C-alpha cells in the first residue's frame, strides 16, 4: 500500500494544471479526501514555501503524510457527527455567534469596497510617487483607510439610531442577574447572561462588560444589515461547523482522559523520563575523505590552525563546509553511535580522536555545552499533558479508524 501511495505521489507532484477533483481516499460511510483538498492543504501548510525546493522523495513523503492526516481528521469528524456533536446546544450557540461575526465582517468589507480614490487624487498620488509602484499602492491604501474609519463610524451610528438602541449600563451597579437586559432595540436584546456564564463568580468588570455589549450591538446590527443571500457565506460556515464538531468531540475526550490534576501527576510518576533534558553541545566538525587526510588535518589543528576555517575549505560534508564546521547545538544522542561514543568523555575545546563513520573520517570539538537536567512537574506540566493526550489519542484513533475505515482510491490514478 505504502509503495502505491509513494508512486502515486511521485507521479502527481505539483502538476500546475488545474486538478480534476478526484477522490483519493474514502473514509467510512460518507467521508472523502479529494485531490483539490489535498492541494489546498499543501499550499496552506507551514512548509509550503520550502516545499518547492525539496527533493522529490521528501515532497512525496510530505504529501503522503498530509493525505493520511486529512483522512484521519475526516474519520474523527465522522465519529463526532455519529455522536451528535453537531446537534449540541454549545454547537448551535457557537455557530450562531460565528455567523453573526462573519456577516458583520462582510458588511465592513462591502463598505470599504464602496470607497475609491477619486481620479484627481489618484493622479496626484501617481505624480508624487513617480514610478514607485509600491509607494503608490501604499498611498492609495492610506487614503482609503483614513476615509474608511470616518465612513464606518457614521454608518454604524446611523444603524444604532435606526434600531432605536438603548443601553442600561447603570443596572450593572446593582446586582445584575442572567435576565438583566443591558441593551435593547428593534429586534435586539442583550442580557447579562449572554455575556457572563451562569456560574461566573467574583467582581464584575463593568468597563469590560460595557465594551462587550457595544461590540455585540455593532456586530448584530451590521450583520443584520447585510443581504445574506448575496453573501456566499456557506463554504465558510460549513468549514467552521466541521472543525467545531471535531473540536467538541476532542474536548470531550480530553476531559475523559484527564478528569483532574491527579491524572497528570500519576502519569508523570509513571513516566519520569519526560522531565529529562539531555545535555546539549555546540559542536564543531570537519569530515574528511581518508584516514591520511584526517591525520594531516589533525596535525594542523593541533599545531594551532582553526578547525573551523579548515572545515570551511576541506570538509566533505556540504552542510558543514557551508557553515565552516559549525554544526550548531546538538542533543546528546543525536549523533551517530561512533561519534557519541568517541565524544562522551571529550572536554570542551579539546580535539577528538579521528572517528570513522560511513560518512568519512571526523574530527570534532565541543565548543560549549548546556548540562543535562531534570525538570520538575510544574515546569513541564504542559509537556506531560501533551504526552498523555498523544498516547490516548493513538489508541482512540485506532478505534475510530476501525469504525470508519479508509478505502484508498489511489491505484486508479496510477494507471492514468
**Residues near another protein, by CB under 8 A:** 13-14, 16, 49-56, 59, 130-137, 282, 323-324, 326-330
Nearer CB in complex with another protein: 16/199: 16
Nearer CB in complex with another protein: 16/201: 16
DSSP code, position 411: H
- The angle subtended at Cα 178 by Cα 176 and Cα 182, nearest 5°, is 60
Q: Is 267 helix (H, G, I), strand (E, B) or coil?
A: helix
Q: How far is the CB of 348 from another protein (least distance, A)?
A: 15
**3-state DSSP percent of the chain in helix, strand and coil, to 5:** 60, 15, 25
Nearer CB in complex with another protein: 294/311: 311
Which region, left, alpha or beta, applies to residue 52 given φ > 0 means left and ψ of -120 to 50 means alpha? Answer: alpha
Q: How far is the CB of 59 from another protein (least distance, A)?
A: 7
The neighbour count for residue 92, using CB atoms within 10 Å, is: 11
Nearer CB in complex with another protein: 13/237: 13
Q: How far is the CB of 280 from another protein (least distance, A)?
A: 11
Nearer CB in complex with another protein: 37/59: 59
Nearer CB in complex with another protein: 227/348: 348
Q: How far, rounded to the nearest angstrom, does the alpha carbon of residue 70 sit from its chain's CA centroid?
A: 15
Which residue from 24, 57, 58 is spatially nearest to 40, judged by alpha carbons? Answer: 24
Q: How far is the CB of 356 from another protein (least distance, A)?
A: 24
Q: How far is the CB of 132 from another protein (least distance, A)?
A: 5
Which residues are 181's β-sheet partners?
191
Residue 337, all three cell numbers: 553511535
How long is the chain?
A: 416
Q: Is 236 helix (H, G, I), strand (E, B) or coil?
A: helix
- Alpha-carbon distance of 301 to 363, in angstroms, equals 10
Q: How far is the CB of 14 from another protein (least distance, A)?
A: 5
Amino acid at each position: 500500500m505504502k509503495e502505491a501511495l509513494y508512486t502515486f505521489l511521485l507521479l502527481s507532484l505539483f502538476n500546475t494544471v488545474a486538478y480534476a477533483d478526484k477522490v483519493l481516499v474514502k473514509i467510512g460511510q460518507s467521508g472523502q479526501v479529494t485531490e483539490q483538498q489535498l492541494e489546498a492543504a499543501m499550499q496552506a501548510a507551514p512548509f509550503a514555501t520550502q516545499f518547492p525546493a525539496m527533493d522529490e522523495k521528501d515532497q512525496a513523503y510530505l504529501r503522503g503524510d498530509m493525505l493520511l492526516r486529512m483522512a484521519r481528521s475526516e474519520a474523527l469528524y465522522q465519529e463526532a457527527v455519529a455522536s451528535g456533536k453537531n446537534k449540541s446546544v454549545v454547537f448551535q450557540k457557537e455557530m450562531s455567534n460565528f455567523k453573526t461575526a462573519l456577516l458583520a465582517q462582510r458588511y465592513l468589507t462591502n463598505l470599504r469596497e464602496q470607497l475609491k480614490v477619486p481620479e484627481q487624487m489618484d493622479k496626484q498620488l501617481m505624480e508624487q510617487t513617480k514610478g514607485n509602484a509600491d509607494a503608490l499602492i501604499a498611498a492609495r491604501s492610506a487614503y482609503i483607510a483614513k476615509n474608511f474609519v470616518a465612513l464606518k463610524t457614521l454608518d454604524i451610528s446611523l444603524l444604532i439610531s435606526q434600531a432605536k438602541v438603548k443601553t442600561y449600563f447603570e443596572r450593572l451597579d446593582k446586582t445584575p442577574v442572567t435576565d438583566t437586559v443591558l441593551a435593547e432595540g428593534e429586534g435586539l436584546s442583550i442580557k447579562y447572561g449572554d455575556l457572563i456564564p451562569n456560574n461566573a463568580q467574583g467582581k464584575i468588570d463593568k468597563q469590560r462588560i460595557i465594551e462587550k455589549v457595544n461590540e455585540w450591538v455593532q456586530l448584530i446590527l451590521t450583520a443584520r444589515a447585510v443581504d445574506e443571500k448575496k453573501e456566499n457565506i456557506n463554504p465558510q460556515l460549513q468549514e467552521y461547523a466541521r472543525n467545531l464538531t471535531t473540536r467538541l468531540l476532542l474536548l470531550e475526550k480530553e476531559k475523559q482522559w484527564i478528569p483532574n490534576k491527579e491524572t497528570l501527576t500519576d502519569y508523570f510518576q509513571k513516566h519520569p523520563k519526560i522531565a529529562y533534558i539531555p545535555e546539549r553541545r555546540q559542536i564543531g566538525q570537519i569530515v574528511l575523505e581518508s584516514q591520511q587526510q584526517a591525520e594531516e588535518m589533525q596535525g594542523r589543528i593541533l599545531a594551532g590552525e582553526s578547525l573551523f576555517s579548515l572545515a570551511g575549505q576541506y570538509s566533505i560534508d556540504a552542510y558543514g563546509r557551508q557553515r565552516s564546521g559549525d554544526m550548531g547545538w546538538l542533543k546528546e544522542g543525536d549523533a551517530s553511535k561512533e561519534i557519541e561514543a568517541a565524544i562522551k568523555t571529550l572536554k570542551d575545546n579539546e580535539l577528538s580522536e579521528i572517528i570513522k563513520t560511513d560518512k568519512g573520517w571526523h574530527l570534532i570539538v565541543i565548543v560549549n555545552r548546556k548540562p543535562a537536567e531534570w525538570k520538575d512537574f510544574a515546569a513541564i506540566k504542559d509537556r506531560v499533558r501533551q504526552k498523555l493526550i498523544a498516547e490516548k489519542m493513538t489508541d482512540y484513533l485506532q478505534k475510530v479508524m476501525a469504525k470508519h475505515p479508509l478505502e484508498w482510491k489511489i491505484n486508479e490514478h496510477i494507471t492514468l
